[in-house]
Structure 1
Amino acid sequence: MEHQMSQNVAFIGLGIMGLPMAKNLITAGFHVTGFNRSDKATKELIAAGGQGAESIAEAVKDADVIITMVPDSPDVESVTTGAEGLFAHAKPGAIWVDNSSIRPDVSVSLAKQAREAGLRPLDAPVSGGEQGAIDGALSIMVGGEPADFAEAQPVLEAVGKTIVLVGPSGSGQTVKAANQLIVAANIQALSEAVVFLEAYGVDTDSALKVLGGGLAGSKVLDQKGQKILDREFAPGFRLALHHKDMGIVTSAAREAGVVLPLGALVAQLVGSTVASGDGALDHSGLFRGVQRLSGQSE
């Protein structure tokens, strides 16, 4: 496995999730070259032992594995296609891992273009938020060819803990959409429960402890319950991005001819919170929307 550990990895998009993921790759022994629109994150990567690039072309030219971690479908299209994109500059045979969360149909289309450019695409969106990225404990749902998945395994293992091939190209994005539906519904239910408990003057710390030990327990309760009680909504995953993801869920469901009644309602509640100016908050900030609906001051 020694040759694997000397692999060159290009990392495009050093945001809340991308930077700690890139740092974990450095810790695992990979040679990491990062490209980001702002210099601050690139400097942090260099300080951690990585290299910075002035362009996507420079970042990917020697890369065996190229990772993209950017906010939305148009961003992935922007960094991959066109004269300045990675498809035009990556070496043939390189594996392209897209850790972004985007529309499944866009993912399928870009995978086709990647193969035409001689690359091996894997759509590999992640779940676990900023803390999961820092801890290298992300869940990664991967779409693509089994052989490419197997070869990318050491890279994925450096940033994630639960790593599963879920089907052909686009499948990873479909599973991520389902993940975002479940998470948003859970946060909304938890938020409503806390507003309800507080209205009755219950000791909420104790209440969440006992709820967490029963069937109502969840990772959402474990990770977001205290944030809600403390009104601490610094972003681990921004509401604006979850709003984008709920749009993906509801749109893809309509295309498939399936009905998601709770998903549609939660999508509207997320949209309302973003429209009220809370888009930059953590998605646990859905709690503020419940407060507003209950006529409470924040």
Structure 2
Amino acid sequence: MNVTFIGLGIMGQNMARNLLPHVQLTVFNRSPQPVEALVAEGARAASSLSDAVAKADVVFTMLASPEVVAAQAFGDEGFLQAMPNDSLWVNCSTVNPSFSRDAAQAARAAGIRFLDAPVAGTRKPAEDGTLTFLVGGSDADLNQVRPLLEHMGDKIVHTGRQGQGSAFKMLINAQLAQSMAVFAETALLGEKLGFSREMLMDTLPNLPVSAPFLAGKAELIRHGQFEPQFPLELMLKDLHLLEQTAYEHQQPLFMSSVAKALYASADAAGHGRDDFSALHAFLETHSQG
């Protein structure tokens, strides 16, 4: 099977690497370094988007935003027009559901099949091949790529029709962002109440009321080193997409709106490229006046 992977950021490069032993893999990225790394391991580098997809049975995209997906997929030089008829585009990028539905319609008009398959998981699960795929689309299309998804992840959730994978990702990231904000705020209050950071990072994440992912984030906070597993600027982008989606469905999101303002302030303060748990560092500075 000929497979193309477009978008080799932190997540995409690791996902593509897990595919490499199993398929004929072509890769494309706007910056050359990740391409060179995968070529050294046996992938083929494409010279352009059209070259990348010309012989592909399946094209995966893992890009930063709806705007980047649109720029690379649509238009006169986009890859969609160069894909073989009846090939399959699997978009793993986090985008809003209405964008996924529009992408599915554009793919259908071009004679291409489409799945939206964003992932739950960050850098380490991408490295380990233990991501969760949230898939929207037909059973037949999912069955075609299921073996490929299983090389990159250990769980596949078929959420329904096209666009529903992206919709479910909105729900996950809404909880993720807010849980981090609540944890950071609570831990900082705990220090003001006389508990040590060590004690709080040892105990709070392990309570029944705490989300499991907070144990890993507590270690970043403990050491004050926020190497990006999930960059804060991308969490802010996802909260913007969440707000847009809620507006389209006339559903107010009071808590998520507060969370978006917090992440926007942390981003403006220079934490955008840090892990999103750096919200703790921002709030700590803010609490000191």
Structure 2 length as normaliser, TM-score? 0.96
> What's the counterpart of residue 20 of structure 1?
14
The structure 1 residue matched to 2:150, chosen from 132, 146, 157, is 157
SS of residue in 2 equivalent to 1:11: strand
Q: Which runs of 5+ in 1 are unaligned?
A: 1-6
The structure 1 residue matched to 2:101, chosen from 108, 111, 115, is 108
Kindly provide the amino acid, as one letter, of the partner of residue 61 in structure 2.
Answer: T
Pairwise CA distance, 1:208: 3.4
Once the two structures are superposed, the pairs formed by residues 15-54 of structure 1 within 5 Å of their partners are 15-27=9-21, 29-54=22-47
The structure 2 residue matched to 1:194, chosen from 171, 187, 203, is 187
The structure 2 residue matched to 1:8, chosen from 2, 9, 22, is 2
SS of residue in 1 equivalent to 2:60: strand
- Over 4 Å off, 4+ runs: none
The structure 1 residue matched to 2:122, chosen from 102, 120, 129, is 129
The separation in 2 between residues aligned to 1:189 and 1:240, in whole angstroms, is 18
The separation in 1 between residues aligned to 2:110 and 2:158, in whole angstroms, is 23
Instruction: Indicate conservation of the 8 Å contact 2:206/2:215, yes or no.
Output: no
> What's the counterpart of residue 234 of structure 1?
227
Farther-moved stretch of structure 1 (12-21 vs 228-237): 228-237
Pairwise CA distance, 1:214: 2.8
SS of residue in 1 equivalent to 2:126: helix
The answer to whether the aligner puts 1:215 opposite 2:208 as a matched pair is yes
Name the count of aligned residue pairs.
Answer: 289
Pairwise CA distance, 1:289: 2.3
The separation in 2 between residues aligned to 1:144 and 1:34, in whole angstroms, is 24
The separation in 2 between residues aligned to 1:48 and 1:172, in whole angstroms, is 31
Instruction: Indicate conservation of the 8 Å contact 1:114/1:121, yes or no.
Output: yes
Q: What per-residue deviation string (whole Å, max 9, x for no partner) do you get for residues 99-127 of structure 1?
A: 10112111111111101111110011112
> What's the counterpart of residue 224 of structure 1?
217
Instruction: Indicate conservation of the 8 Å contact 1:187/1:220, yes or no.
Output: no
The answer to whether the aligner puts 1:256 opposite 2:249 as a matched pair is yes
The answer to whether the aligner puts 1:89 opposite 2:82 as a matched pair is yes
Instruction: Indicate conservation of the 8 Å contact 2:137/2:163, yes or no.
Output: yes
Q: Which runs of 5+ in 2 are unaligned?
A: none
Change (3 A) 1:220 1:143: same
Q: What per-residue deviation string (whole Å, max 9, x for no partner) do you get for residues 75-112 of structure 1?
A: 11111112221211111121110010112111111111
Q: What per-residue deviation string (whole Å, max 9, x for no partner) do you get for residues 184-206 of structure 1?
A: 01111121122123334424344
The separation in 2 between residues aligned to 1:202 and 1:117, in whole angstroms, is 60
SS of residue in 2 equivalent to 1:215: coil
The structure 2 residue matched to 1:73, chosen from 66, 75, 81, is 66
Pairwise CA distance, 1:212: 3.4
The answer to whether the aligner puts 1:286 opposite 2:279 as a matched pair is yes
